[in-house]
Amino acid sequence: MPVKVKWFGHSAFAVSIGGKVFLVDPWLKNPKSPVKDLNLGFEPDYIIVTHDHGDHIGDTIELLKKYPRAKAVAIFEIASKIAEELGDPNRVVDGNIGGPIRLGGGYFVVLTTATHSSITGTPTGAVFGREGETVYHAGDTGLTSDMRLIGELYKPVAALLPIGGHYTMGPREAAKAAELIKPKYAIPMHYGTFPVLWGDPEEFKSEVARLAPEVKVVILKPGEEVELE
């Protein structure tokens, strides 16, 4: 069964793996997003939050209220903050960097190192899915050699990589990340939302072709979905 990836602009994605749907960094009301009322047409199973900045934790609380089956997955402090705001500790799954979080049915999340900042807790990326069908969302991060280990251990089908620059990797750094991770597909994110996020996805594609020609770059438009075989 193919992995389906839908981009809502900025760093917000819906990723379908088997029978589970993961929302990641669901700032779905971002300026580039086609979604304005949070009527998704599907019910997410898990909402992964990489760090506590408004453009990443985004609409998490509103989505958890709207979709009662969903659970948030985040580092301990952020999960605790979400649980307190909701008034329901059963709606979150907390964890920490490097520890595989078993979700049942063979699905898991591993929170990974991200070199960034966060109002609450520590910033992370996330590897999620099930054996042979994993996706790596890097969160907001600079380039780090840990990405090589992520590739070796989890062999993600796709790496969702920030390319905007200024606050995260730019196209050149993100292409190096793709070289280290060696996913089948690389999808750029966190660019173009604001003028300061100047990274160009075509430059990223060109750099990946130079450094890691075996990696296929998929450039999505906000609202677009792709099936990854």
What's the CA gap between 167 and 141, in Å, rounded? 8
Which backbone phi and psi does 141 adopt, to 5 degrees? -160, 155
Distance of CA 229 to the CA centre of its chain: 19
What do you get for the CA distance between the two ends of the chain, in Å?
A: 8
Q: Could you read off the pLDDT of 34-69 as tens digits, one per residue? A: 988 898 989 999 999 999 999 999 999 999 999 999
- pTM of the predicted model, to two decimals? 0.98
> In b/e form, how buried is each residue of 117-151, taking b as 16+ CB within 10 angstroms?
ebebbbbbbbbbbeeebbbbbbbbbebbebbeebb
Q: Could you read off the pLDDT of 87-139 as tens digits, one per residue? A: 999 999 999 999 999 999 999 999 999 999 999 999 999 999 999 999 999 99
Residues 3-221: name the CATH superfamily.
Ribonuclease Z/Hydroxyacylglutathione hydrolase-like (3.60.15.10)
Q: Could you read off the pLDDT of 175-193 as tens digits, one per residue? A: 999 999 999 999 999 999 9
What's the CA gap between 6 and 16, in Å, rounded? 9
Give the H/E segment covering residue 3: strand 3-7
Contact 107, 132 (CB under 8 A): no
Banded pLDDT at 81 (limits 50, 70, 90): very high
**Cα–Cα distance list, 178 to 22, 97, 159, 172, 175 (Å):** 22, 21, 7, 10, 5
Distance of CA 7 to the CA centre of its chain: 10
